[in-house]
Amino acid sequence: MASFNPVHIAAFLNQPVIAILSGNADGSQIVNTQLNAVLKAQLTSSATVARQTTLASLLQNLAPGDLAADQSLSLRDFVTKYTTLPTDPSANQTALAAIATLSATTTVGALLSLNGTIATFLRKRTPEVYENNAPRSDFRTR
């Protein structure tokens, strides 16, 4: 397991997320794993809020994908690719209908802002860590 090295992490902050995912850097697998968790959480949360219980249930078992390779897949195609569908024909049809409610045009890359920098991604997803677009000085003491 990679150890936390703030200097090493700082070197990645201004690089595009996709560059890190596509590279052979130490952090590419860690970033891929974390972004898969973010994607799964966002999709599941959205399905739950929309009261799409079948879809939310399917997303609980969404397998992680290779986000560098799958960045151009639509959300619908990504979920179809990484979800295990029920074998029962009726349940399978219900699952496919639930997946069909996902966007066929929004890509995984767009939803996760993979063309943005790591710093931008972090600012969007962890605003409590930032103050005036700069890391809060007291964050590590909390």
Over residues 3-57, the pLDDT tens digits come to 545 555 666 777 788 888 887 766 788 888 888 999 999 999 999 998 999 999 9
Query: For the chain, how many structural domains are there in total?
Result: 1
Q: Is residue 64 part of a domain?
A: yes
β-bridge mates for residue 46, sequence order: none
How many whole angstroms separate alpha carbon 49 and alpha carbon 43? 10
**pLDDT value of residue 64:** 95
**Are 117 and 124 spatial neighbours (Cβ–Cβ below 8 Å)?**
no
Q: Is residue 67 part of a domain?
A: yes
| pLDDT tens track for 87-103 | 999 999 999 999 999 99
Q: Is residue 24 part of a domain?
A: yes
Residue span of the structural domain in which 97 resides: 6-141
Ramachandran angles phi, psi of 135, nearest 5°: -60, 135
* Amino acid (1-letter code) at residue 3: S
Q: Is residue 106 part of a domain?
A: yes
How many whole angstroms separate alpha carbon 8 and alpha carbon 25? 11
β-bridge mates for residue 117, sequence order: 16
Q: Is residue 87 part of a domain?
A: yes
Q: Is residue 49 part of a domain?
A: yes
Q: Is residue 1 part of a domain?
A: no
| pLDDT tens track for 107-134 | 999 988 888 887 777 777 654 444 444 4
β-bridge mates for residue 74, sequence order: 107
